[in-house]
Amino acid sequence: MRFELTEEQSLVQSTAREFAKRAVEPKAAELDRSGRWPAEIVTEMAELGFLGMAIPAEHGGAGLDHVSYAIVVEEMSRACASTGVIMSVNNSLFCDPLEKFGTPEQKERVLAPTASGQMLGAFGLTEPASGSDARMMKTVADAQGDGGFILNGAKNWITCGPHAEHIIVFAISTQDAVKPKHTAMLVRRGTPGFSVAAPDHKLGIHAAHSATIFFENVRVAKEDILGEVGAGFKVAMSTLDGGRIGIAAQAIGIAQAAFEKSVAYSKERHSFGAPICDHQAIQFMLADMATEIEAARLLVLRAARMKDLGQKHTAESSMAKLFASEMATRVTHKAIQIHGGYGYSVEYPIERHYRDARITEIYEGTSEIQRIVVANALFR
């Protein structure tokens, strides 16, 4: 078992870290305050090959592995959690399923320009009345005689939705009260009947715009069906296996940033005649934070390595996502405590990390869903 990064992975990490420090972190506070879309950062991520990292070069990607991808998501999220999730969505939730389930024509027409960053993609599974229980979605696709569908419904909390050129939409294509069948399809912005609501107002990740998207008699051609008709749930669950690696890496990046700032602050802040890092209470908090971050990182790297090897990694991805997301909440909570009143102030970045961390326990499967996935693996 290898724990050290390869030479190529180390180079990818140093490139991402330098870019994040130079171009992302200095803008993170402003992006959080203003909520503006970081278009210039997205453009530079595309130039660096960060928007289709594990996609082969012939399909527009960087041709790297998923370990490298997890490393870069962590580095981006360490600087700005919004930037990290924008990158994660394009890689994990859009490009990855297109590479796995797309036709050669779809890969040339949609995947190549998206993996290269010429345009963005998004993933539409969650609905206003259907979150964790995704099978019971209300969006429907009525089959047409030419093999296409007419799509009606709505998807919400669609990260990158206001900016994506295509969205992978999941809809019921065969009605059944107990086990309906679903189909995945590519829907392009601007298609008649496609509309996007105003961006959502959220607790954190303010610059990673999400929105509700509506479909009213949207025509989907046969050529835009992703995977087999009726096998959409398989596409969704396979996609989320990989997506959870990205969100776990995002959580680690957020926690790492809060931890590093806490160590630095503990050396500067004095109380009772000594820097607070000399107090055992602070030392114990920092020790717990460091240990949990490292444990989460190892879980993520294991899941990413299994994906690279083509091994089933459903339970391992869920373990990584569950532990890393709850770890990020615990670490940022302690970071606020170490900073005291300053941690609660918007003048310091710790409260931003705390707000950004909380979503990692919810999207791409709540912590409760991850526990179900892991338990199912135990008793299967």
Q: What is the CATH number of the domain that holds 61?
A: 1.10.540.10
* Residue 260, C-beta contacts closer than 8 angstroms, at least 6 positions apart: none
Q: Give residue-wise pLDDT tens across range 256-288.
A: 999 999 999 999 999 999 999 999 999 999 999
Q: Give residue-wise pLDDT tens across range 116-138.
A: 999 999 999 999 988 888 778 99
pLDDT grade, residue 1 (50/70/90)? low
Whether 324 is covered by a domain: the verdict is yes
- Residue 143 and residue 42 share a domain: no
State residue 380's pLDDT score: 84
* 3-class secondary structure per residue, the chain: CCCCCCHHHHHHHHHHHHHHHHHHHHHHHHHHHHCCCCHHHHHHHHHCCCCCCCCCHHHCCCCCCHHHHHHHHHHHHHHCHHHHHHHHHHHHHHHHHHHHHCCHHHHHHHHHHHHCCCCCEEEECCECCECCCHHHCCCEEEECCCCCEEEEEEEEEEECCCCCCEEEEEEEEECCCCCCEEEEEEEECCCCCEEECCCCCCCCCCCCCEEEEEEEEEEECHHHEECCCCEHHHHHHHHHHHHHHHHHHHHHHHHHHHHHHHHHHHHHCEECCEEHHHCHHHHHHHHHHHHHHHHHHHHHHHHHHHHHCCCCCHHHHHHHHHHHHHHHHHHHHHHHHHHHHHHHCCCCCHHHHHHHHHHHHCCCCCHHHHHHHHHHHHHC
State residue 354's pLDDT score: 98
- Residue 35 and residue 14 share a domain: yes
- Residue 368 and residue 243 share a domain: yes
Last residue of a domain, one of 230, 247, 266: 230
State residue 132's pLDDT score: 87
Whether 296 is covered by a domain: the verdict is yes
Q: What is the CATH number of the domain that holds 316?
A: 1.20.140.10
Q: What is the CATH number of the domain that holds 145?
A: 2.40.110.10
- Residue 238 and residue 223 share a domain: no
- Residue 202 and residue 71 share a domain: no
Q: Give residue-wise pLDDT tens across range 76-98.
A: 999 999 999 999 999 999 999 99
Domain tally for the chain?
A: 3
Whether 2 is covered by a domain: the verdict is no
pTM of model > 0.85: yes
Last residue of a domain, one of 83, 115, 147: 115
- Residue 242 and residue 226 share a domain: no
Annotated catalytic residue within 127, 326, 364, 368? 364
Indicate if 216 belongs to the active site.
Answer: no
Whether 180 is covered by a domain: the verdict is yes
- Residue 100 and residue 21 share a domain: yes
Whether 16 is covered by a domain: the verdict is yes
- Residue 268 and residue 212 share a domain: no
Distance in angstroms (rounded) separating the CA atoms of residues 72 and 51: 10
Whether 283 is covered by a domain: the verdict is yes
Whether 219 is covered by a domain: the verdict is yes
Q: Give residue-wise pLDDT tens across range 325-370.
A: 999 999 999 999 999 999 999 999 999 999 999 999 999 999 999 9
- Residue 221 and residue 322 share a domain: no
- Residue 158 and residue 106 share a domain: no
pLDDT grade, residue 372 (50/70/90)? very high
Whether 1 is covered by a domain: the verdict is no
Q: Give residue-wise pLDDT tens across range 204-226.
A: 999 999 999 999 999 999 999 99
pLDDT at 20 over 90: yes
- Residue 222 and residue 262 share a domain: no
- Residue 259 and residue 135 share a domain: no
Q: Give residue-wise pLDDT tens across range 236-258.
A: 999 999 999 999 999 999 999 99
Domain range for 224: 121-230
Last residue of a domain, one of 205, 230, 255: 230
